[in-house]
């Protein structure tokens, strides 16, 4: 690590325009939290000498402490050590003055991993794959909306070319991509400087909705890093261009939601894709992985749909799944096996919304697949494009049901450490209770004098 530290410090020294750094960890909601530090403290951050409270990981979406959190009240809100993840110092080009991010994760006083950290949860799953001589290869697809930041509710942005506000869907419109080329170009350039492997960009199905895919990498921890950094980059570049970028699962009730699809395969020590057996059906190990994904899906839904708004996306007859089902070349089911050359045989997991934490999502997916492989679970018959073979099991229909399913789930108990599960459940319960106390304007308008 010392050579790596020397390399990034040399890079930082060459960037005399950078006067401050952001040292941050990723919390359970996928929010980056940390400190602004002077450039002179870069070595301190890289050598693991910064400290931040463990409770930082478990704050609710509003940044509030969790009521009754033992990490706060029983330990005096103790600090943990912040260790560098090894992912460089990443330049940030959208702030008022150039800065850079030092990505960190938490450890205890002995230097051992703090198991409440979501990035640690994914690392533990990858260690289990490594013990089996397998390496997950992962890629992600993230959808987002550009919206007018001046509006109280989401409305389409004004086209930089035509000067007109977007007000209609434009799926796969090249003209819309061209209109927002300056924004997209700057996103790609910022991703390039941070080592985020961006691939194709398309105009998606909603007003001002886009999808940018990230290339597959044979390092699922890096793939999750890429997704976290990508979301932050898109939001920053959008503000620079006078927009706001929205990764809410369902910002418009009557338009497409924002998904976060994950593609993955497994390679062995010789670099062979173990999902490929030369047939269109894929190998037994692939089907066992699908079996595990299906078995753990309902109890993992809280990870894939972690917010109140998330359940507006998971509706019947949409591209967001509601049933625990799988199929070949079928985008209506939760687990899709894409077609194409057998050497690229992979699994696409389609449940998660773009509002989810990428570390938890990949840990839940890869952890469930591993359980299926280890226990040789059968996925049952695939669902055909006509809907035949659809299994009756459903995803939890609402937030409260998903919290209860996660809390009682036996598979998620194997995937996630107890301290992380307890913190996540407490966080989501507090958020649910807060929403329950807030009566919407629509409720008032509907019921005030009519009942």
Examine the domain organization and report whether 398 and 251 are in the same domain.
yes
pLDDT at 386: 47
**In this predicted model, what pLDDT tens digit does every residue of 116-135 receive, in sequence order?**
999 999 999 999 999 999 99
Domain boundary among 91, 114, 137: 114
Backbone angles phi, psi at 232, to 5 degrees: -65, -40
* Separation of alpha carbons 9 and 14, rounded Å: 9
- 290 and 188: one domain? yes
Check which CATH number belongs to the domain holding 217 and give it.
3.30.590.10
Residues 100 and 191 placed together within one structural domain of the fold: no
**For range 146-172, the mean pLDDT:** 84
- The answer to whether 81 and 107 are in contact (CB under 8 A) is yes
71 and 173 housed in the same domain: no
Q: Are 432 and 399 in contact (CB under 8 A)?
A: yes
Count of Cβ atoms closer than 10 Å to residue 24 Cβ: 21
* 431 assigned to some structural domain: no
Question: What is the residue whose two structure tokens read 């194409």?
Answer: 340
What count of residues does the chain have? 451
Residue 285: give the domain boundaries. 125-416
Same domain, 153 and 217: yes
In Å, the largest CA–CA distance within the chain is 71
pTM, two decimals, is: 0.95
Q: What is the pLDDT of residues 313-329, one digit of tens each?
A: 998 877 788 899 999 98
Would you give the DSSP letter of residue 150? T
Does residue 63 sit within a domain?
A: yes
Is the pLDDT at 339 greater than 60, yes or no? yes
pLDDT confidence band for 411 (50 / 70 / 90):
very high
Do 34 and 176 belong together in one domain? no
CB atoms within 10 A of CB 26: 28
At 102, which CATH number?
3.10.20.70
Q: Count CB-CB contacts under 10 A for residue 450.
A: 6
Give CA–CA dist 28/303, Å, rounded: 10
Last residue of a domain, one of 59, 79, 114: 114
Question: Is 207 within 8 Å of 124 (Cβ atoms)?
Answer: no
Question: CA 254, 382, 346 angle in degrees (round to 5)?
Answer: 85
Residues 110 and 129 in one domain: no
Same domain as 138, residue 105: no
Domain final position from 74, 91, 114 = 114
444 domain residue, yes or no: no
Query: Domain total for the chain?
Result: 2
């Amino acid at each position: 690590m010392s050579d790596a530290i020397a390399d990034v410090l040399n890079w930082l020294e060459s960037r005399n325009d950078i006067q401050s750094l952001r040292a941050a960890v990723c919390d359970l909601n996928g929010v980056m939290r940390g400190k602004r530090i002077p450039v002179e403290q870069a070595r301190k951050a890289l050598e693991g000498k910064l400290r931040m409270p463990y409770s930082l990981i478990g704050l609710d979406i509003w940044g509030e402490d969790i009521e009754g959190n033992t990490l706060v009240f029983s330990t005096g809100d103790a600090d943990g050590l912040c260790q560098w993840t090894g992912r460089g110092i990443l330049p940030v080009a959208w702030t008022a003055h150039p800065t850079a991010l030092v990505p960190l994760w938490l450890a205890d006083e002995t230097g051992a991993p703090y198991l409440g950290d979501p990035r640690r949860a994914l690392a533990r799953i990858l260690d289990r794959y490594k013990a089996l001589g397998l390496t997950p290869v992962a890629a992600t697809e993230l959808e987002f909306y550009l919206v007018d930041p001046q509006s109280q509710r989401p409305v389409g942005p004004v086209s930089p070319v035509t000067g007109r506000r977007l007000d209609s869907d434009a799926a796969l419109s090249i003209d819309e991509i061209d209109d927002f080329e300056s924004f997209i170009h700057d996103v790609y350039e910022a991703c390039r400087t941070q080592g985020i492997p961006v691939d194709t960009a398309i105009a998606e199905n909603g007003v001002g909705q886009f999808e940018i895919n990230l290339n597959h990498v044979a390092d699922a921890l890096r793939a999750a890093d890429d997704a976290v950094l990508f979301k932050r980059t898109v939001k920053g570049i959008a503000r620079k261009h006078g927009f706001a970028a929205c990764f809410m699962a369902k910002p418009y009730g009557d338009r497409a939601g924002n998904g976060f699809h994950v593609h993955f395969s497994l390679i062995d020590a010789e670099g062979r894709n173990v999902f490929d057996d030369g047939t269109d059906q894929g190998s037994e190990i692939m089907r066992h992985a699908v079996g595990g994904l299906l078995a753990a899906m309902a109890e993992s839904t809280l990870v894939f749909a972690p917010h109140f708004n998330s359940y507006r996306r998971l509706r019947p007859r949409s591209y967001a799944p509601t049933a625990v089902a799988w199929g070949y070349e079928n985008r209506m089911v939760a687990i899709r096996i894409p077609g194409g050359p057998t050497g690229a045989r992979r699994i696409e997991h389609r449940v998660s919304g773009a509002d989810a934490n990428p570390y938890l999502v990949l840990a839940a997916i890869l952890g469930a697949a591993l359980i299926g492989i280890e226990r040789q679970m059968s996925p049952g018959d695939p669902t055909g494009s006509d809907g035949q073979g659809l299994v009756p099991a459903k995803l939890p229909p609402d937030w409260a049901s998903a919290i209860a399913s996660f809390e009682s789930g036996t598979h998620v108990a194997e995937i996630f450490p107890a301290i992380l599960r307890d913190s996540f459940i407490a966080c989501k319960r507090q958020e649910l209770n807060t929403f329950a106390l807030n009566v919407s304007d629509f409720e008032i308008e509907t019921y005030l004098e009519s009942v």
